[in-house]
Amino acid sequence: MKSASGDASRFPVFYTVIGGITASVGLELFLHPHDMIAGGVTGISRLVSLYTQEHFGLLLFVLNLPLMLLYSLSTHKPMLLRALPGLFAFSGSAIILSPFPAVSGHPVVCALGGGICIGLGAGLAARHGGLLDSLGLNESDDGRPSALFLTQRKIPLIQIVMLCNGLLLMTAGFVLGWEPALYSALSCLAAYETTRLMFTGLTRMVCVISNNQQTVEDALYRRLRIQRMSVGSPVQNLNEIKKDLVDEKTEKTIVYHVHLLDLQRFKAIIQMTDPQAEMYTLKKE
């Protein structure tokens, strides 16, 4: 009988769809009723929709699609196929939710709430191989190139994203007014910090004792894109981590940093790869 956690780990599309719906809730129920915008292509789509009267959800899909195709070709990975379900859910649920009123009449509450929803949705999708916004606030191992070459100079993509978002917020200030633009900046900051927290801020150290170390390492990297900790880690030296384990098991121990959202998938992959493996969850120091 297969475990529920094992089944869930095989369907990352489910999480990208949930991420798309969560992000659209942040837009349509928090930001857009107060004339706030998000960053990236999502914000560009909103400004274009205000002038063309085309539906935001449709523009969101149309403007994201060519950039995602470009990234897929440049990285030689099937990123587009993994991103499409989340993008469909993002744009489709935005169309469905657009007639609904704002959750709150307080712009600060909506700016923070919308940013948190967008950050949660973008982070959830990115952690499972999706991408909601081709110039979004989230970063994924497989989603986008880390840098672009412009005029013989390598420029980190995060700098380009920040520049684009800055210009977008300035444009929003002229078009929508400076007060909504300032609230939009607050929302972008909340989204960025929420996404960063989902990637780096909620982790556990897990010791895996296995006779098939290489097989386990390959499976975890292929499925979760995580690698074992190396000796001299700034968190804690591996010798200190292993000192409480039985001596004869020390050489069979692999130590990982695992995000809480990936913990059940991590355990399911270990059990499928090596049913005899032992796992110990340690607290971070």
pLDDT at 278 over 60: yes
Structural domain total, the chain: 2
Q: How confident is the model at residue 35 (pLDDT cuts 50, 70, 90)?
A: very high
Q: Are residues 139 and 46 in the same domain?
A: yes
Q: Percent of the chain having pLDDT more than 70?
A: 75
- Domain end residue (candidates: 158, 177, 200): 200
pLDDT at 88: 92
State mean pLDDT over 241-266. 68
Mean pLDDT of 113-131: 88
Q: Identify whether residues 172 and 159 lie together within a single domain.
A: yes
Band of pLDDT at residue 49, cut at 50, 70 and 90: very high
Residue 207: closest CA among 147, 270, 281:
281
Q: How confident is residue 108, by pLDDT bands cut at 50, 70 and 90?
A: very high
Cβ 122 vs Cβ 190: under 8 Å: no
- C-alpha span between 263 and 214 (Å, rounded): 20
Residues 149 and 219 in one domain: no
Q: What is the pLDDT of residues 137-175, one digit of tens each?
A: 444 444 444 444 444 456 566 677 788 889 999 999 999
Average pLDDT over residues 87-103: 93
Q: Do residues 15 and 105 both lie within one domain?
A: yes
Examine the domain organization and report whether 192 and 267 are in the same domain. Answer: no
Assess whether 122 and 36 both reside in one domain.
yes
53 in the same domain as 153: yes
How confident is the model at residue 163, as a pLDDT? 85
* Better-predicted residue by pLDDT, 28 or 1: 28
Give the CATH number, domain containing residue 262.
Answer: 3.30.70.120
Q: Is the pLDDT of residue 58 over 90?
A: yes
Regarding whether 137 and 20 lie in a shared domain, the answer is yes
Greater pLDDT, 264 or 252: 264
Residues 109 and 216 in one domain: no
More confidently predicted of 82 and 84: 84
Structural domain for 70, as ranges: 4-200
**pLDDT for residue 257:** 79
The confidence score (pLDDT) of residue 249 equals 52
pLDDT for position 143: 44
CB-based burial of residue 2 (10 Å sphere; 0-12 exposed, 13-18 middle, 19+ buried)? exposed
Residues 66 and 139 grouped into a single domain: yes
What would the pLDDT profile of 200-225 be if each residue is shown by its tens digit?
767 778 888 888 888 888 888 888 77
Task: Look at the chain and count its residues.
Answer: 285
Let me know whether 212 and 186 are in one domain: no
What mean pLDDT comes out for the span 86-101?
93
> Which of 152, 173, 200 is the C-terminal boundary of a domain?
200
List the structure tokens of 46.
């909103």
Whether residue 141 is found in the same domain as residue 94? yes
Average confidence score pLDDT of the chain: 79
What is the amino acid identity at position 230?
A: S
- For residues 263 and 269, what is the distance between their CA atoms, to the nearest angstrom? 10
